[in-house]
Amino acid sequence: MEFASKLVSIKRFNDTLATFFFAKPEGFNFKAGQFALIAFDKEFKDGHPFTISSTPEDELIGITVRKLGFFTQKLHEAEIGQDMFFEQRLDCLGLMTQMMK
């Protein structure tokens, strides 16, 4: 399932590590340990998987990202209000369970 969101705030720990907080779209539910595919475009051409670092009870979706490559560099350069797109994914155990069915 795909969701549109916006970058709401950034907590920078240093030059290469930050937590990015996004508005939680209605219907975007997750459990601890799940991940989401995150993209700058709704076609997910540049999508990248990230583990969600916030709790399901938090009002915002948080992902903690180290600047390592093209996508993470672009994310570290994003500005507040940037449109982002999420595709909800399962945790690894849930994904394996579905594949075994």
pLDDT of the residue at 91: 56
pLDDT of the residue at 98: 42
pLDDT of the residue at 92: 53
Is residue 62 within 8 Å of 84, Cβ to Cβ? Answer: no
- For 45-97, the pLDDT digits (tens) are 778 899 999 999 999 999 999 999 999 999 999 999 999 998 876 555 444 44
Q: What integer is the mean pLDDT of 33-53?
A: 86
pLDDT of the residue at 13: 98
Rg from Cα positions in the chain: 13
Number of structural domains in the chain: 1
Residue 39, domain CATH: 2.40.30.10
Q: What integer is the mean pLDDT of 20-28?
A: 94
Q: List Cβ neighbours of 7 (8 Å cut-off, separation of 6 or more).
A: 20, 21, 22, 78, 79, 80, 81, 82, 84
Dihedral, 93, 56, 65, 74 alpha carbons, nearest 10: 110
Is residue 11 within 8 Å of 57, Cβ to Cβ? Answer: no
Q: Which residues form the domain of 89?
A: 2-100
